[in-house]
Amino acid sequence: MSIHKEVKRITTHVLQAMKARGEKITMLTAYDYSMARILDEAGVDVLLVGDSASNVMAGHETTLPITLDQMIYHAAAVVRAVKRALVVVDLPFGSYQGNSRKALESAIRIMKESGAHAVKLEGGSEVAESVARILSAGVPVMGHLGLTPQSIYKFGTYKVRAREEEEARKLKEDAQLLEELGCFSLVLEKIPATLGKEVSEQLCIPTIGIGAGRFTDGQVLVTHDLLGITKDFQPRFLRRYLDLFEVIKGATQQYIQDVRSGDFPNESEQY
């Protein structure tokens, strides 16, 4: 008899049941094996291989430059680490907009080559055809509305979205459409908390908020922001749990000092 307890995997159905029970969903970003292993062991429900890898991992100013091949590389590393969490992968800019056949091909490549469990894409009615086509192949889709960083050059700013009635109305319509198409969940980014609440109450599928207030069915943050590895990003919605930038810098300075002084390696650290 095995003494190891089976880990119950999180599926899209588990997330929907969590919403029905009023249990909050936790999601964090992950881009590599080592970090994904820690976050999964900690018990986070969903790991998002976000296209924020373009900023956090590669140092680009926006999410636009990251490629499908690069997303698959990050996603495969995360999948290898995970025992429990649902792994969702962002379709990168240019891999799904305006061409539903291409969208399906991109989603299939992600699922086949990384072993991930679902994809996420940004937008509402403009990407409805792509969403429907990906879903028709049995690939679960997470939507993303509000501040959609792949459209940053259209918005011109990273400020809060949908403060005006017209944009809020379009967002609510898009949220309904994404649910009707069959999306299993929806990210709401940087919108007023009242709108986050309204959309979360309007939908049967779970909403996951980032800067969308406390009434969404779950929360997501970029892990490197939460841990304080990134330094200059200070939006109001971000709660930093550590200042890992300074912790890592301090440890590195100590190592440099120890090598230079001849303290490392010592007798017990050699063969």
The verdict on 227 binding ligand KIV (CB under 6 A) reads no
Which of 12, 28, 35, 52 binds ligand KIV (CB under 6 A)? It is: 52
72-131 residues near ligand KIV, rule: CB under 6 A: 90
Which of 210, 226, 227, 229 binds ligand KIV (CB under 6 A)? It is: 210
189: phi then psi, degrees, rounded to nearest 5 = -115, 130
Q: Between the CA of residue 81 and those of 86, 97, 189, 225, 244, what are the distances in Å?
A: 12, 30, 27, 21, 22
Q: In the complex with ligand KIV, which residue's Cβ is closer, 19 or 120?
A: 120
The verdict on 50 binding ligand KIV (CB under 6 A) reads yes
Query: Of residues 126, 180, 189, 198, which has the active-site annotation?
Result: 189
Among 47-55, 78-86, 96-104, 194-202, the segment contacting ligand KIV (CB under 6 A): 47-55
The percent of the chain in helix, strand and coil, each rounded to the nearest 5, is: 45, 15, 40
Q: In the complex with ligand KIV, which residue's Cβ is closer, 50 or 206?
A: 50
Q: Specify whether the CB–CB gap between 248 and 229 falls below 8 A.
A: yes
Q: In whole angstroms, how close is the CB of 53 to ligand KIV at the nearest point?
A: 7
Q: Specify whether the CB–CB gap between 211 and 219 falls below 8 A.
A: no
Which of 35, 187, 188, 203 binds ligand KIV (CB under 6 A)? It is: 187
The question of whether 166 is a catalytic residue gets the answer no
- Alpha carbon dihedral 238, 242, 248, 249, in 10-degree steps, equals 70
Q: State how far the Cα of 265 lies from the Cα of 140, in Å rounded to an integer.
A: 51
The verdict on 29 binding ligand KIV (CB under 6 A) reads yes
Q: In the complex with ligand KIV, which residue's Cβ is closer, 171 or 259?
A: 171
The verdict on 211 binding ligand KIV (CB under 6 A) reads no
Q: In the complex with ligand KIV, which residue's Cβ is closer, 233 or 264?
A: 233
| Catalytically active residues, by annotation | 189
